[in-house]
Amino acid sequence: MAYYTNDELKELKFKHLGKNVKISNKASIYDPEKIEIGNNSRIDDFCIISGNVNIGSYVHITPMCLIAGGEPGVTICDFSTLAYGVKIFSQSDDYSGYTMVNSLIPTKYKSEIFSPVIISKHVVVGTNSVIMPGVIINEGCSFGAMTLVNKSTEAWGIYVGTPCKRIKERSKNLLVLEKSFLKEIEID
């Protein structure tokens, strides 16, 4: 995988760009002036990132993900991961048939849903999952492959299915590991 150089990343003029950020040169970044990225985060091949997006530190966005922040925005907090093909939307058309849909239709003929998405710390979203507008994923949740996240979640749950359903608790042991990890990198 080839990454943009630090100079190339600076030329993109992100709203904020942390240290040691790696972005594949095969990723598509739209509106970088609206995008914030924390330290030590990585965006892999064939990802599309657009609109108001705030990515924390130690966030990994694996290949073929889509983050459509639009105006409401998407926030992904520290130590979170999006597996292959995850899609996140902060806005959507109304598919009921009462209005028209798609980007080519003037707003006066459409009814759109605009609502921010927040992904808290230590969240892992499984392959090909979809997160809809207005969802707040609380700390420590994990999602199985192909999960439709159309409602907000309670912290430290494991969710699967379409639509998502909490099936059990997730271990909080990783919080102990986080403390050790942060102490270790302070020493370096």
Mean pLDDT along residues 137-146: 98
Task: Enter the pTM of the model.
Answer: 0.96
To the nearest whole percent, how much of the chain has pLDDT over 90? 97
How many H-runs (helices) and E-runs (strands) does the chain carry? 2, 22
My answer on whether omega of the bond before 163 falls inside 30° of 0, hence cis, is yes
pLDDT in tens, 5-40: 999 999 999 999 999 999 999 999 999 999 999 999
Cα separation, 15 vs 79, in Å, equals 21
H/E run at residue 35: strand 35-37
- The pLDDT score that the predictor gives to residue 138 is 98
Report how far residue 143's alpha carbon sits from residue 152's, in angstroms, rounded to the nearest whole number: 12
Q: How far from each other are the two terminal CA atoms of the chain, in whole angstroms?
A: 27
- Token pair belonging to 13: 């003029």
The CA distance from 64 to 27, in Å, is: 9
Contact status, residue 33 vs residue 55, Cβ threshold 8 Å: no
pLDDT tens, residue by residue, 72-129: 999 999 999 999 999 999 999 999 999 999 989 999 999 999 999 999 999 999 999 9
Element (H, E) at 81: strand 81-82
Cα 46 → chain centroid? 14
Write out the H or E segment, with its range, that includes residue 6.
helix 6-12
Q: Is the torsion defined by CA of 89, 130, 103, 14 positive or negative?
A: positive
Q: What is the CA radius of gyration of the chain?
A: 17
Q: How wide is the angle at C-alpha 93 spanned by C-alphas 149 and 80, nearest 5°?
A: 30
